[in-house]
Chains A and B, each alone.
Chain A
Amino acid sequence: MSTKEKPEMQQIELSKLSLANLTQLKKQLDQEIGVYQDSMQALKLAQTKYGDSKEALEKIQPDAKDSRIMVPLTGSMFVPGTIDDTEKVLVDVGTGYYLKMSMESAKDYFKRKVVFVTEQMEKIQSLGMERSKIRDAVMGVMEVKIQTQMASQKPPQVPGVST
């Protein structure tokens, strides 16, 4: 599970591993890369959501008070309403907690969230790249092994191709 020990371990042992082990390793790496890709997508979604919320906040100016809006009750039904308070908004911060805060605090909150998510994305991206690199190396070693195996099975035809 830890990220520290793996790369070194693998770099040392790659050429010593059997083909079956390598296949297993590749499968595991593929799985990990898939997880990272899924996380990336989820984070991207969160990033746009926070970004959109922030943008929506920018649109609410003090002079928007008393303006008529349509409030979505469900995804497909709206009721008319008026904006009563342009100073404060209610923000969902997770685990069922909602905080009523000033415009500035809310904007600040979304800004922080976007920064946080972007940081996480960068981290995951570099982790994913690392895994891809290891996977490429594993695949390279696998190819060499397969070729030597094939060459040893029918030796007289071609004088061994090595890359």
Chain B
Amino acid sequence: MEDLQNKLQAELDKFKAVGKEYHNAISQRQVLDGQLHENMGVKTELDLLKADGEVFKMIGPVLVKQELTEAKQNVNKRIDYITNELKRMDDMISNLDAEQDKHKEKLATLQMQFQQEQMKAAASKA
């Protein structure tokens, strides 16, 4: 009986830990998604910029002039990086999702066992 309870508690803790990780992954994904959109916006603006336009990049407290081609390259690089990160996040999220389901199942069976034990104990007392 006690053994089962300990097992149940351990499984519950594991389940909760996975849940937390899952939430973290989701919010990280959202941040990345936002960054991707922002970079996409910058890219369209850079593409739309006329020949007489100039590009500045804020580095710390100063604005540094940058070549348009260089800026475009940088933004493209960032977009690539973020897209890769997003993919990695998606994989991680689906893995965590599967893990969560597994834990949920285990938890359910353990809970059933626990209840049965409890009933048995109650019946033997009565």
Partners in one complex: yes
Contact B38–A95 (Cβ < 8 Å): yes
- Chain B residues near A90 (CB, 8 Å)? 56, 63
What residue in chain A is nearest B78 (Cβ atoms)?
Answer: A95
Instruction: State the CA gap A96–B52 with chains docked (Å).
Output: 20
Instruction: State the CA gap A101–B55 with chains docked (Å).
Output: 9
Contact B41–A93 (Cβ < 8 Å): yes
How distant is B44 from chain A, measured CB to nearest CB, in Å? 9
Q: How large is the interface on B (under 10, 10 to 19, 20 to 34, 35 or more residues)?
A: 20 to 34
Instruction: State the CA gap A101–B52 with chains docked (Å).
Output: 8
Does residue A105 face the partner (Cβ distance < 8 Å to B)? yes
How distant is A133 from chain B, measured CB to nearest CB, in Å? 25
- Chain A residues near B1 (CB, 8 Å)? none
How distant is B5 from chain A, measured CB to nearest CB, in Å? 24
Contact B42–A100 (Cβ < 8 Å): no
Does residue B58 face the partner (Cβ distance < 8 Å to A)? yes
- Chain B residues near A100 (CB, 8 Å)? 53-56
How distant is B90 from chain A, measured CB to nearest CB, in Å? 11
Contact A95–B42 (Cβ < 8 Å): yes
How distant is B53 from chain A, measured CB to nearest CB, in Å? 5
Contact A102–B56 (Cβ < 8 Å): no
Contact B39–A98 (Cβ < 8 Å): no
From residue 133 to 161 of chain A, which have CB atoms closer than 8 A to chain B?
A: none
Instruction: State the CA gap A109–B59 with chains docked (Å).
Output: 23
Does residue B45 face the partner (Cβ distance < 8 Å to A)? yes
Contact B63–A99 (Cβ < 8 Å): no
Contact B49–A101 (Cβ < 8 Å): yes
Contact B59–A96 (Cβ < 8 Å): yes
Residue in contact with A93 in the complex, picked from B35, B42, B52, B59, CB distance below 8 Å: B42
What residue in chain B is nearest A93 (Cβ atoms)?
Answer: B45
Contact A97–B50 (Cβ < 8 Å): no
Instruction: State the CA gap A95–B38 with chains docked (Å).
Output: 7
Instruction: State the CA gap A93–B50 with chains docked (Å).
Output: 15
Does residue A94 face the partner (Cβ distance < 8 Å to B)? yes
